[in-house]
Structure 1
């Protein structure tokens, strides 16, 4: 695990794929205790990073969707609709 990229250098997709690999490895139960602890710690850091990135993205979307009055207006998409009308 010493040759791993720094978490902040990973793309969102790379970080999420690495986290999935770690989870599968931990669930298999085939790892030594020390390796499991190291993987778990890496997984926690990856999860924190991914959650932070999602929060940043949500904030950016919220700002982009701010209405004229400055209030945030998040509109959920309905996959069954073809028009751009808001879903209430």
Structure 2
């Protein structure tokens, strides 16, 4: 994990794919302890970023919804479940 892009420079898709790779690597059990800890930390950082981006997108969708008669109506979207933890 020497040359990794900062999380805020990754697209949502890139961050999601990297998180999936990290999870698969951690589940394989083939990494040394130090590498596992580094990967886990990166995974937590990616997960937080992904959740934040999803929450922002949900808010934007809520703002864009309009009533049938054309009057702007803020319809709250159901918030993403952020209660789960990253576990391997």
CA change 1:58–1:26 in 2 (3 A) is same
Whether 1:72 aligns to 2:70 is no
Q: Radius of gyration: which is bigger?
A: 1
| CA–CA separation in structure 2 for the residues paired with 1:14 and 1:48 | 14
| CA–CA separation in structure 1 for the residues paired with 2:27 and 2:5 | 23
Superposition TM-score, scaled by structure 1 size? 0.78
The alpha-carbon deviation at position 12 of structure 1 amounts to: 0.4
Residue by residue over 1:2-47, the C-alpha shift from the partner in whole angstroms, topping out at 9 and shown as x without a partner, is: 2100000000000000000000000000000000000000000000
Query: Which residue of structure 1 lines up, in the alignment, with residue 8 of structure 2?
Result: 8
Q: Indicate if the aligned counterparts of 1:66 and 1:73 stay in contact, CA closer than 8 A.
A: no
CA change 1:37–1:62 in 2 (3 A) is same
Kindly indicate whether structure 1 or structure 2 has the higher relative contact order, using CA contacts under 8 Å at least 6 residues apart: 2
Alignment of 1:1-88 (within 5 A): 1-67=1-67, 68=71, 70-72=73-75
Q: Indicate if the aligned counterparts of 1:65 and 1:73 stay in contact, CA closer than 8 A.
A: no
Name structure 2 gaps, 5 residues minimum. Answer: 78-88
Give the count of matched residue pairs. Answer: 74
